[in-house]
Amino acid sequence: MRERSGQGCFPGRARVRSLALNRFGFRSGFTPNQTPQAITILDTETKNTATCRRCGECCRKGGPALHTQDKGLFTGKNAVDLSQVVTLRAGEPAFDQVRGRVAPLPGELLKLKGANQDWTCVFFNAGENACGLYDRRPAECRALFCQDTTELAAMYEQDRLTRRDLLPRGHGVLAVMAEHEALVPPARIAALAEALRAGGAEAQDAEFELTRMALADRAFRQSLTERAGIAAEYHEFFFGRGAEALFAATGLCLRADVRRGVRVQPDPFWRV
Ligand code: SF4
């Protein structure tokens, strides 16, 4: 998500890989009935204790995926704003906490964004080691205890919130999202990346399709701002992560190209 900087293969490359893994890294939980002040680090020395040490490590590894029981976060006073949410679309590679491996997502999910070019949850107050949403923190945050993830595993894939759950039925942007999904399908990217890396006759077709996807993705985002007046910080909610981030997760990078606008090429330093 944070790898927006580069036109080339090198800027942000190391970050891309670590983000892919850290984003869904295990997050230790907080015990209920604690105020934000009370969740300041109490014990940073003790290892392997049976209770949560409230170290905040989980929040630094990434915000939670959201579930239908979290829908209330988006209403009322201090509601979570859609600009604080990123959509991970079906078919994107993501780290599966329960299975412990990177795999294509079987379905869409929404997730609290990271803050400042990092995966640290946008609601984590690093200075106080505290959660800014503590009293109504998301279901995964309530369920997760890093030393015993049974509760999290039981609800992990259940009732995940999607964009459609948060948008009014019939909203005009739904059709635009569907069109974007059809033209920039994350599930295609890994196979195309493999074909591009393999070289040969199919590589040219793969590069053509990837370039088309990158340009289409860019056009959708520009259009959302220019025609619908929706600011860039909302784009990751409406369209998910940009093509540059999706490509980077499969070892591809984008370079500026005078003639075509963008060029897709394998990252020579990428390792699975
Ligand atoms: S919502 Fe709160 S508890 Fe959950 S990851 Fe963010 S800062 Fe941590």
Least confident of 45-59, 128-142, 241-255, 257-271: 45-59
Distance 169 CA to ligand 1 centre (A): 29
Would you give the DSSP letter of residue 51? S
Give the nearest ligand 1 atom to 124 CA. Answer: 7
Model confidence at 228, pLDDT cuts 50, 70, 90, reads very high
**pLDDT-based confidence at 169, cuts 50/70/90?**
very high
Q: Give me the percent of the chain exceeding a pLDDT of 90.
A: 58
pLDDT of residue 258: 87
User: Tell me, what's the pLDDT at 272?
Assistant: 66
Tell me how far apart the terminal alpha carbons of the chain are, to the nearest angstrom.
Answer: 18
Report the residue among 137, 146, 161 best suited for mutation to probe ligand 1: largest number of ligand atoms under 8 A from its CB: 137
* Residue whose token pair is 């569907």: 178
Distance 36 CA to ligand 1 centre (A): 11
Ligand 1 pocket, Cβ-based, cut-off 6 angstroms: 27, 30, 59, 63-64, 112, 121, 123-124, 131, 133, 137-138, 141
pLDDT tens for each residue of 61-114: 889 999 999 999 999 988 999 999 999 999 998 877 777 788 899 999 999 999
Mean pLDDT rounded to a whole number for the chain: 81
Instruction: List, in sequence order, every beta strand (DSSP E) within the chain.
Output: 85-88, 93-96, 101-104, 109-112, 124-125, 130-131, 252-257, 261-266
- Please calculate the CA angle 174-176-180 and round it to the nearest 5 degrees: 115
CA of 26 to the centre of ligand 1 (A): 12
Q: For residues 30 and 99, is the Cβ–Cβ distance under 8 A?
A: no
pTM tops 0.95: no
pLDDT number for residue 268: 83
Stretch 205-218: mean pLDDT: 96
Q: Which atom of ligand 1 is nearest to the CA of 125?
A: 7
Pocket test residue of 124, 125, 129, 144 for ligand 1, highest count of atoms within 8 A of CB:
124
Q: Check pLDDT > 50 for residue 52.
A: yes
* Nearest Cα residue to atom 4 of ligand 1: 141
For the CA of 122, the nearest atom of ligand 1: 6
Best residue for ligand 1 mutational test, from 131, 140, 142, 144 (most atoms within 8 Å of Cβ): 131
Ligand 1, atom 8: nearest CA belongs to which residue? Answer: 59
Lowest-pLDDT choice from 61-70, 91-100, 127-136, 244-253: 91-100
Q: Please report which confidence band the pLDDT of residue 50 belongs to, taking 50, 70 and 90 as the band edges.
A: low
Confidence bin at 2 (pLDDT 50/70/90): very low
Q: Is the pLDDT of residue 4 over 70?
A: no
**pLDDT (average), residues 235-250:** 95
**Which residues, including other chains, have CB under 8 Å from residue 173's CB and lie 6 or more apart?**
167, 224, 228, 230, 238
Average pLDDT estimate for 108-126: 91
Residue 13, pLDDT > 50, answer no
Best-predicted range by mean pLDDT among 12-21, 26-35, 198-207?
A: 198-207
CA angle, 163 then 164 then 166, to 5°: 70
